Amino acid sequence: MTTVLDDIITGVRADMAARMAVVAPSQLKERIRWMGPTLDPRPGFGGDTISVISEVKRSSPSKGALATIEDPATIASAYEAGGAAAISVLTERHRFNGTLDDLRAVREAVGIPVLRKDFVVDPYQVLEARAFGADLVLLIVAALDDKQLAGLYDLALSLGLLPLIEVHTAEEMRRAALLKPELVGVNNRNLKTLDVDLAQFERLAPLAPHDAIVVAESGIRDAADVQRVRAAGADVVLVGEALVTSGNPREAVQTMIEATRPGRGPAGSPGRATVMNDDRQGESNE
């Protein structure tokens, strides 16, 4: 049975083939050769309050159109002013109405790290991410087999990109842990049904590698949700819909950060299980 994820990836591959016919991988590599270093997002992730990756998101498969974003640089700058640790830019065209030009515009507008959020299934897309200014790239375990995942992960690191490894099942967390990732995202949305359940984060976060930075993705609507996932072990939240529909993205980011300031709610971040990655205990995330 074909899933929503399958349909999205089919469209992603078709779009990628069209881009490759215009810009060869060698051209992207040449562009990258002349670029400066990427920004390291890790110093901005963690601390006394939750870190927020704020997303430029026009639409979604589950909700349709969310916001009219004519200039992604403007909303990205508002996010940065509100205290966002990084900006996520959706570049998938058919379901999310995003483009690589959005990624480039945001990179030029802000001084914080930028994530390319897409359904990455080919090395070409990792090259694109770097060439258009990303500092991080999303890799979705559900979209890749182990060989593909490891290959794309290693390529991203070689280009100076920090991979965000996304999971939404315990088995995917097990597969992700084999990479010894520094950044793991738990997607509260089932990519095959589009259902959202914050309890998914509460189930999976304790299984994350002990020294990984853990990101809660999808379904974060308000300060109470931020406090809930923070209490379950989130170091970072990735938020799109709630911010682009807020009317005041700068203030919305600030509110989410302040929700986890010590003394304001159940914001403790408990330790996570170590059994999946014991050999890395004691190593630094840096």
Residues 196-212: tens digit of each pLDDT: 899 999 999 999 999 99
User: Where does residue 36 rank: exposed (0-12), middle (13-18), buried (19+ CB within 10 A)?
Assistant: exposed
Catalytic position from the list 59, 60, 80, 117: 117
Q: Is 166 considered catalytic here?
A: yes
Residue 147 is a catalytic residue: no
Map residue 187 onto helix, strand or coil.
Answer: strand
Percent of the chain with pLDDT over 90: 76
Active site residue 70: no
What DSSP character marks residue 36? -
Q: Please, what are the domains in the chain?
A: 4-270 (3.20.20.70)
Residue 108 a catalytic site member: no
pTM, two decimal places: 0.89
Q: What is the pLDDT of residues 92-138, one digit of tens each?
A: 988 888 999 999 999 999 999 999 999 999 999 999 999 999 999 99
pLDDT band at residue 62 under the 50/70/90 scheme: low
| Catalytic (active site) residue 62 | no
Query: Virtual CA dihedral for 107, 108, 111, 113, nearest 10 degrees?
Result: 10
How far CA 90 is from CA of 116, 117, 118, 138, 191, in Å, comes to 6, 5, 6, 10, 16
pLDDT for the residue numbered 57:
82
State yes or no: is 117 an active-site residue.
Answer: yes
Q: pLDDT, tens digit, for every residue of 65-99?
A: 676 677 999 999 999 999 999 999 999 988 888 99
Identified catalytic residue from 92, 128, 182, 217: 217
Closest to 59 (Cα-Cα) out of 247, 241, 253 = 241
pLDDT for the residue 195: 84
Q: Which residues of 54-82 are buried (b: 16+ CB within 10 A; e: fewer)?
A: bbbbbbbbeeeebbebeebbebbbbbbeb
Of residues 190 and 6, which shows the higher confidence score?
Answer: 6
